[in-house]
Amino acid sequence: MTDPGSGPVRVGLVGAGPWAGMFHAPMLAAGPATTLSWVYSRRLEAAAALADRHGARATDDFDTLLDNCDAVSFAVPPDVQPGLAVRAARAGKPLLLEKPIGLTLESARRLVDAIDDAGVPTQLMLTKRFSPGVRNFLAEAADFPVLGARAAFVSEAFLPGSVFATPWRLRHGALLDVGPHVLDVLDAAAGPIESVTAAGDPLRWMALTTRHQGGAVGQVSISSVVPGNFWECALFGAEGTLVTPPRDESERPVVMRAITDEFAEVVRTGVPHELDVHRGLYLQRLIQAAGGTGT
């Protein structure tokens, strides 16, 4: 594994699409624990346009990126991520991975096996878990006796004109895209999910029922074709109700800083984050049980 020394961790970014431009690139470039060193895309002009905005270099050769960074961040579709991430792991690079970690459960398993074989540490971009509001909610949830839970992630992300209405999302739906976020927070708040069942259409509206270790039952609503944006996780019990704070876009710089600070620590210590590739595989199994893609 590359030793980043005492300076900022040099992170190579894989992908130059909307999410890479909106989140990954500015996050990594802002530092101070990281710096954006190179941007890789199969379309060199896209990589160059993004790299130029953040003082980085661009390439359409993946090996060039691997040769010039300490760690790799991924902002590509889930059918693309596993193959490139395996190559990066075999090159000894710590990985900042997007969710879902693969398009199918099998591709996710192969990725985890390759990462385990290479012995590289990972961190998963479950962005809600880096929010101060969500972290405070989960700290309170640790001592909250849960009888039932409710969670919802409803947005307009797949409507015409949205930058997130990309081919893989429009084909596979909201369960694969935002399901990891919802199930991760619900699992962390109400206890490990032992089973999940689903009804509805992932391209329109999904309703999930979760059963948790300890007996709690959760109800989840997911859709990406409803105007507006709504996110909530609520716990109910004999002591009352515990609810996540309202969505707050002003938190974004704080979330970005937390992700990069903690990823830099992962790179320097070689210790995987609590939210690592194995967490991603766990969530992928839940999505598969709820009727997600692949086997």
Give the C-alpha separation, 117 to 111, whole Å. Answer: 10
Q: How confident is the model at residue 93 (pLDDT cuts 50, 70, 90)?
A: very high
Q: Is residue 230 part of a domain?
A: yes
Q: How confident is the model at residue 71 (pLDDT cuts 50, 70, 90)?
A: very high
Q: Answer yes or no: do 161 and 24 share one domain.
A: no
Q: Is residue 25 part of a domain?
A: yes
Give me the mean pLDDT over the 93-102 stretch.
Answer: 98
For residue 293, give the DSSP letter. S
The predicted pLDDT at position 291 comes to 83
Q: Which of 229, 247, 265 is the last residue of a domain?
A: 247
Q: Is residue 289 part of a domain?
A: no
Q: Answer yes or no: do 72 and 155 share one domain.
A: no
Q: Answer yes or no: do 104 and 137 share one domain.
A: no
Q: Answer yes or no: do 122 and 259 share one domain.
A: yes
Domain range for residue 169? 128-247
Q: Answer yes or no: do 238 and 153 share one domain.
A: yes
Q: Is residue 282 part of a domain?
A: no
Q: Is residue 23 part of a domain?
A: yes
Q: How confident is the model at residue 248 (pLDDT cuts 50, 70, 90)?
A: confident
pLDDT above 60: residue 31: yes
The predicted pLDDT at position 177 comes to 96
pLDDT above 50: residue 1: no
The predicted pLDDT at position 294 comes to 46
Q: Is residue 265 part of a domain?
A: yes
pLDDT tens-digit profile of 98-135?
Answer: 999 999 999 999 999 999 999 999 999 999 999 999 99
Give me the mean pLDDT over the 43-69 stretch.
Answer: 98
266: number of CA atoms within 13 Å, CB side? 29
Q: Answer yes or no: do 34 and 176 share one domain.
A: no
pTM: 0.95
CATH number of residue 79's parent domain: 3.40.50.720
The predicted pLDDT at position 159 comes to 97
Residues 224 and 203 sit within 8 Å (Cβ to Cβ): no
The predicted pLDDT at position 5 comes to 61
The predicted pLDDT at position 20 comes to 97
Q: Tell me the average pLDDT of the chain.
A: 95
Give the C-alpha separation, 132 to 40, whole Å. Answer: 31
Q: Is residue 285 part of a domain?
A: no
Q: Answer yes or no: do 78 and 161 share one domain.
A: no
pLDDT tens-digit profile of 251-287?
Answer: 999 999 999 999 999 999 999 999 999 999 999 999 9
pLDDT tens-digit profile of 77-91?
Answer: 999 999 999 999 999
Count of domains forming the chain: 2
Q: How far are the Cα atoms of 99, 209, 264 from residue 221, in angstroms, in the given order?
A: 19, 9, 34
122: number of CA atoms within 13 Å, CB side? 28
Q: How confident is the model at residue 51 (pLDDT cuts 50, 70, 90)?
A: very high
pLDDT tens-digit profile of 148-195?
Answer: 999 999 999 999 999 999 999 999 999 999 999 999 999 999 999 999
Q: Answer yes or no: do 80 and 220 share one domain.
A: no
Provide, rounded to the nearest whole percent, the portion of the chain with pLDDT above 90.
94
Q: Answer yes or no: do 93 and 137 share one domain.
A: no
Give the C-alpha separation, 74 to 14, whole Å. Answer: 5
- Structure tokens belonging to residue 196: 């999940």
Q: Is residue 283 part of a domain?
A: no
The predicted pLDDT at position 4 comes to 62
Tell how strand 217-223 and strand 148-154 pair up.
parallel
Q: How far are the Cα atoms of 60, 79, 92, 139, 157 from residue 143, in angstroms, in the given order?
A: 50, 39, 39, 8, 34
Q: Answer yes or no: do 260 and 120 share one domain.
A: yes
Give the C-alpha separation, 165 to 109, whole Å. Answer: 27
Q: Answer yes or no: do 240 and 106 share one domain.
A: no
Q: How far are the Cα atoms of 24, 31, 41, 129, 259 from residue 51, in angstroms, in the given order?
A: 12, 15, 11, 28, 20
Q: Answer yes or no: do 118 and 258 share one domain.
A: yes
pLDDT above 50: residue 17: yes
pLDDT above 90: residue 249: no
CATH number of residue 185's parent domain: 3.30.360.10
pLDDT above 90: residue 210: yes
